[in-house]
Every structure is written in C-alpha cells, then in structure tokens.
Structure 1
Amino acid sequence: MRNHGSILGILMALLPALVTAGHAETLARKTTHMVFDIIRQGDKIGTNSVDIDKQGDTTKVRIETSIHVKVMFIEAYRYEHVCDETWKGEQLIAFASKTDDNGTPHRITFSMAGDRPSLDVDGTRKDVPKDIVPASLWSRTLLHRPDWFNPANGQSLRIAFHDLGEDQVQIHGAAVKAHHYKISAQGSAFDRDLWFDGDNVLRIQLQGSDNSTIISDRR
C-alpha cells in the first residue's frame, strides 16, 4: 500500500510538468489552410489549396491545384498538380510532386543526402544549389532566394524580384491592402505579379500562353 502511495505521489508531482509540456507543444504548432480561386478572363477555371503545418522549426506544406479550361463546353486544357514540401527552418529538405499537364505527366523529387541536394526530374537526377527552393509562391520569405525550380516540371529558374511597395487590390469585391512584388526568370516565361498579406500570398497574376490574364485570389 505504501508503494502504491509513493507511485501515486510521484505521478501527481509530475502531472503539472507533463500538462505544461503538452500545452507548450500545442502552442508551438500552427496550421494554415488557404484556398484560391483561379480566374481567366472573368471565368473561374480552377482552384488551388495550400495547407501549412508548422511545428517548431519544421514546416510541412501541401499544395493541390486543379484547372480545367472549356471552350464551347469542350475541355481544351486540364492541369492537375499536387506537391508536398518539408522545411527545416529556411532549408528545404524534401519535396515531391506529381503533375498532369494536359496529358503530359511529370514526377519531381528533391532530397538532401548530408549537405548534398539532389533534384530528380522524371527519373533524371541533377545536382542543384543547396539553397534552391520550389516556385510554389506560398511564402514571402522565399522571394529573396535567387535559385528556384518549377514544381510542376522541374525546370531550373534564376529569379529576380522587384519590390513594388504597398498596394490595394480588389479581392472578391473587397479592397485589401497588400505588398506587391514582381518576379521574373532569366530565359523563361515564368513571370508573376504577387501580392502578400503578411507572409502569406493573397493574389498571383500571370499571363497565359495565349496572352490571357490569369488571376489566383485567396478566398
């Protein structure tokens, strides 16, 4: 009986510490869910969702994009993309994506073996800079990095970005203050206008291959 009492006393003494530790772990975790409507020439053609799970210095991001363009009720173009990213601080440590670009499939993976980064594009491995990041555009912190890769097809991108300052944009009929950036890639058509609300992207605007304006607005 005395032993049982001693054990109970120890557990009761530890209980506040265990509760505090569990509470601290809960506070350290932050999840963000964002959904974007993709609009082309006034018509909605798809959606994009971004889920961010941050705990301590580890951040996991999952992005899913679905686009369907119809002309006279006939599907003229479709795009399906899903990717998963894992970050340790500001270092990308793992990436995997699967894309169907109008019938053309792509599989991209990124991994770190010690300090050696490796990017595999459709079964072909290539060495890349350690600080390379995917052009998934979900965070403003990525903009200062010059070396990117296209998460859909693995194309290497050398990025220049321009800070255009504070701006006001109409998002679903409401005026919203945001910070405006423009990015461009040397030797590529990967040009984007980006508006951020804090660290998270609010709007992405680009020109389609047919010169139409495509806008992705956060709900």
Structure 2
Amino acid sequence: MTMLLHRTATAAAGFALALLAAPALAAAPAPMEFTVLKDGKPIGEETYTFSEAPNGALTVEVETRTDVQVLFLKFHYRHQRTEVWEDGVLTRMTAKTDDDGEPHKIALAREDGGYRVEADGAIRREAPDVLPLTLWTPKVLEHDRVLSIIDAEPYAVEVEEAGTETLDGEEAVKYEMSGDIDRDLWYSPDGQLLKVQFTRSGYNIEYVRR
C-alpha cells in the first residue's frame, strides 16, 4: 500500500470511523439510494439502509437490482448483502447474488484475529487487514487487498486521490482504484459515497447518488 493512499484516504475515512465507531448514535444514518446507469441510461438501483443495535453495532443492508437488454438478449443481476460493524470493524457479512442465473453465496465472520470466509461452499481464512468491496464506506480506501462481494475473489488494488470535482453542485473528492479491478470513486468531504464509475464488457457503468 502506498504512502499516498494513507495520506489521501485519511480525511474521508474519518467520517467512516465516526459513523462506525461512535457509541449510541442519536439515530441511524439515513438510507442511501443510487441509480445504476449503463452508457447514461438507467438500468437499475442500489439501496443502503442502516440500523443500530443497543450495543452500538451498525447493521448495513444492501440491495442491488439491474436489468439490461442488449439486442435480443436480457441480463439481470440481483444482490443482497448484510454487514455488521462493531467499533469500526466489520465483524460479519453475508451476501447472496443472482448474477444472470448464476447463484453465489458468501458468509464472512471475524474470528481468531482474522476472517473466516465461506464462498460458494468453499472455506478459507483471510488476514485481518482485508475488506470486502464495500464502497459505501471510505474505509475501503485504506486497503490494498479487497474481496469481491459476489464470490469473495481476492483483488490486489492501489488507490490514489485524483483531485476535487463538483457533482450536481456538491464538492466531491475523486479516488482511482486500480489493479485487479478498476473503480473511480467520488466521496463528499465528510466521506459519503456520491458516485462509482467503471467499465464492464465495454460499457460505461455508473452508480449515482440520488
């Protein structure tokens, strides 16, 4: 992991640490909703809802739905994920995905100083410094090894800050994730995810906060 990553991620990650670690929040964070675009046209949506337990644990529920038609072919993607964070650490995650008819399941749990990962029936251990590709939190910017949220495939990545831009009148800090996967990410100065952009099968895909 580069020193640049540590420097540029600090400000945005501060918001995530406050959100995830603060005890007894007055109220859970507001839901987050994104429109999914393919070459500028809506093809689906992604939503995040948050709830806090009496012990301060934060539960994040994620649902993603996309439907794409290319010529006479139709493709669909359905994803459901639950994350549980305690004191700023991801302690559990389950995910279920229907990737155009191909099913995937993940169960991740923090144990013995690392993670136990069960993905599509196969079990392995991961080091404590890994994190799934949970882009809603800028804590993901701090990691150089991330896991697919579909099948837990590991990715080696680097992250660099790419400057400040304005999105719909709102200031945003852009980060570029590269390596085994490529993602352009925009966060507000207080660390809220505003936009994700990447290329898949030659198409420009965007997740835009609404």
Note whether the superposition's TM-score is higher than 0.5. yes
Task: For residue 123 of structure 1, report the CA deviation from its aligned partner.
Answer: 0.7
Mapping of residues 1-219 of structure 1, within 5 Å: 25=24, 27=26, 29-54=27-52, 57-72=56-71, 74-169=72-167, 174-185=168-179, 188=180, 190-197=181-188, 198-209=190-201, 211-219=202-210
RMSD over aligned CA atoms reads 1.9
**RCO greater where, 1 or 2, for CA within 8 Å and sep 6 or more?**
2
Task: For residue 108 of structure 1, report the CA deviation from its aligned partner.
Answer: 0.4
Q: Secondary structure at the match of 1:131?
A: coil
Distance (Å, rounded) in 1 between the aligned partners of 2:128 and 2:144: 12
Distance (Å, rounded) in 2 between the aligned partners of 1:57 and 1:131: 22
Equivalent pairs, count: 186
Task: For residue 203 of structure 1, report the CA deviation from its aligned partner.
Answer: 0.4
Distance (Å, rounded) in 1 between the aligned partners of 2:88 and 2:74: 39
Distance (Å, rounded) in 1 between the aligned partners of 2:39 and 2:115: 40
- What letter is aligned with 1:35? E
User: Sequence identity of aligned pairs in percent?
Assistant: 24
* Bigger CA radius of gyration: 1
Deviation string 1:102-128 (CA, Å, 9 cap, x unpaired) is 111000010123424211110100110
Q: Secondary structure at the match of 2:139?
A: helix
Q: TM-score, normalised by structure 2?
A: 0.82
- What letter is aligned with 2:87? G
Deviation string 1:161-208 (CA, Å, 9 cap, x unpaired) is 011121123xxxx332101001013xx3x2100001121100000001
Task: For residue 86 of structure 1, report the CA deviation from its aligned partner.
Answer: 0.7
Task: For residue 25 of structure 1, report the CA deviation from its aligned partner.
Answer: 4.7
- What letter is aligned with 1:200? Q
For structure 1, which runs of at least 5 residues remain unmatched after alignment? 1-23
Q: Secondary structure at the match of 1:151?
A: coil
* Corresponding residue of 1:6: none
Instruction: Tell whether the 8 Å contact from 2:134 to 2:140 is kept in structure 1 after alignment.
Output: no
Task: For residue 75 of structure 1, report the CA deviation from its aligned partner.
Answer: 4.9
